[in-house]
Amino acid sequence: MKDRQLTLRDFLEIYDHITKEGTKLDGVYQYSGIKAWHDFDGYTCWLGYKDLTITLLFHGRFSIEYDNKVTLESFHKIADDFTKK
């Protein structure tokens, strides 16, 4: 990633791309190693990659949880491809 932080808009763009282009299995979409899913009413969405989980909340908040910094860096590299302008 080129010295920029991902924003909520970036995460939503990634989520949209994965749900449109990915394969759906048991309610979870998967594309390029990233998974995307949501709760029953769509108010909370998640992105998952290895040990990383991003929670996207309805009111514009999000949280990022991961075990290994390398996973976060790898996710940023993949995400950068989705969010190139």
Cα–Cα dist 2/8, whole Å: 17
**pLDDT top residue among 1 and 62:** 62
The mean pLDDT value for 21-28 works out to: 95
- Could you tell me the pLDDT band of residue 2, with boundaries at 50, 70 and 90? very low
- Let me know: does 78 contact 5? Beta carbons within 8 Å: no
- The C-alpha angle with vertex 30 and arms to 24 and 36, in degrees rounded to 5, equals 90
